[in-house]
Structure 1
Amino acid sequence: MSVVIWADGRLHAPGDPVVSAVDHGLTVGDGVFETCAVERGQAFALTRHLRRLERSAAGLGLPVPDEQLLRDAVAQVLAALPDAGRLRITCTGGTGPLGSDRLADQRLTVLVLAGPATPSSSSRAVRVPWVRNERSAVAGLKTTSYAENVVALAAARGRGADEALLANTVGELCEGTASNVVVEQHDELVTPPLSSGCLAGITRELLLEWGRDAGLPVREGRPGELTYDVLDDVLDGRAHLALTGSIRTVSPVVELDEHPVAVGELTRAAVEVYRARAADDVDP
Structure 2
Amino acid sequence: MTTLWVNGRIVAPGESGVSALDHGLTVGDGIFETALVDDGRPFALTRHLRRLERSAALVGMSTPTETEIRAAIEETLAAAAATSPVTHGRLRITVTSGVGPLGSDRGDAAPSLIVGVVPTGAWPAEVRAVTVPWTRNERSAVAGAKTTSYAENVVALAEAHRRDAHEALLANTRGELCEGTGSNVVVVLDGELLTPPLSSGCLAGITRELFLEWAGQEGLAVVEKDLPFDVLAEAEGVLLTSSTRGVQPLAAIDGRPLERTEAGEKARELYDRRAAEGIDP
Equivalent residue, structure 2, for 1:6? 5
Letter in 1 for 2:101: P
The TM-score with structure 2 as length reference comes to 0.95
Provide the rounded CA distance (Å) in 1 between the counterparts of 2:126 and 2:213.
Answer: 22
- Pick from 239, 244, 250: which aligns with 1:242? 239
Q: Does the alignment pair 1:100 with 2:100?
A: no
Show the 5 A alignment for 1:90-129. Answer: 90-103=94-107, 105-120=108-123, 121-129=125-133
Provide the rounded CA distance (Å) in 2 between the counterparts of 1:119 and 1:168.
Answer: 30
Provide the rounded CA distance (Å) in 2 between the counterparts of 1:123 and 1:165.
Answer: 13
Q: Work out whether residues 41 and 78 of structure 1, in 8 Å CA contact, stay in contact via their aligned partners in 2.
A: yes
Q: Does the alignment pair 1:196 with 2:200?
A: yes
Q: Does the alignment pair 1:280 with 2:245?
A: no
Give the aligned CA root-mean-square deviation in angstroms. Answer: 1.1
Deviation at 1:123, TM superposition (A): 2.3
Equivalent residue, structure 2, for 1:66? 65
Q: Work out whether residues 63 and 111 of structure 2, in 8 Å CA contact, stay in contact via their aligned partners in 1.
A: no
**SS across alignment from 1:94:** coil
Q: Work out whether residues 208 and 219 of structure 1, in 8 Å CA contact, stay in contact via their aligned partners in 2.
A: no
Deviation at 1:33, TM superposition (A): 0.2
Q: Does the alignment pair 1:156 with 2:160?
A: yes
Deviation at 1:65, TM superposition (A): 2.7
Q: Does the alignment pair 1:185 with 2:184?
A: no
Equivalent residue, structure 2, for 1:77? 76
Instruction: Tell me how many residue pairs correspond in the alignment.
Output: 275
Q: Deviations over 1:212-240 (max 9, x none)?
A: 2222111322xxx3110101103xxxx31
The TM-score with structure 1 as length reference comes to 0.94
Q: Deviations over 1:85-126 (max 9, x none)?
A: 0100000010111110011x2310000110022331542100
Equivalent residue, structure 2, for 1:49? 48
**SS across alignment from 1:273:** helix
Q: Work out whether residues 160 and 258 of structure 1, in 8 Å CA contact, stay in contact via their aligned partners in 2.
A: no
Equivalent residue, structure 2, for 1:267? 264
Q: Which runs of 5+ in 2 are unaligned?
A: none
**Kindly, what percent of the aligned residue pairs are identical?**
58
